[in-house]
Amino acid sequence: LAKTTQPISMDSYEGQEVNITCSHNNIATNDYITWYQQFPSQGPRFIIQGYKTKVTNEVASLFIPADRKSSTLSLPRVSLSDTAVYYCLVGDLNTGRRALTFGSGTRLQVQP
């Protein structure tokens, strides 16, 4: 299973764009990249998923370079409510072992 590395924490201000990068140097051919968001006292919540290039939804964008050894979650114009821990997860959707260790995540603190 590809190990992921993320910054422990990040700070931002309301209205700014935030980019959180995740390294996954030994990602396998069949692996997808998924990001989750976790608020205090809640379980993680799915944000976005991608395999290559760029994926965008109503919440975020996910940028994946051609070598797929990293990925960047982009949150446009963050607000205070985006303060949370963000987890990058890499796994093979075609097996039952796609959802293992999330790692310690990146704690995003948004200031007013």
Q: Among residues 97 and 112, whose Cβ is nearest to other proteins?
A: 97
Q: Which helix (H) or strand (E) covers residue 4, if one does? A: none
Strand partners, 75: 18
Q: Does residue 29 bind other proteins (CB under 8 A)?
A: no
Q: CA end-to-end span of the chain, whole Å?
A: 38
* Interface map 78-107 toward other proteins (x if CB under 8 A): -------x-x---x-xxxxxxxxxxxxx-x
**Which residue shows structure tokens 């963000």?**
86
Return the amino acid letter for 15: G
Q: Among residues 14 and 30, whose Cβ is nearest to other proteins?
A: 30
Give residues in contact with other proteins (CB under 8 A).
Answer: 32, 34, 36, 41-46, 49, 85, 87, 91, 93-105, 107
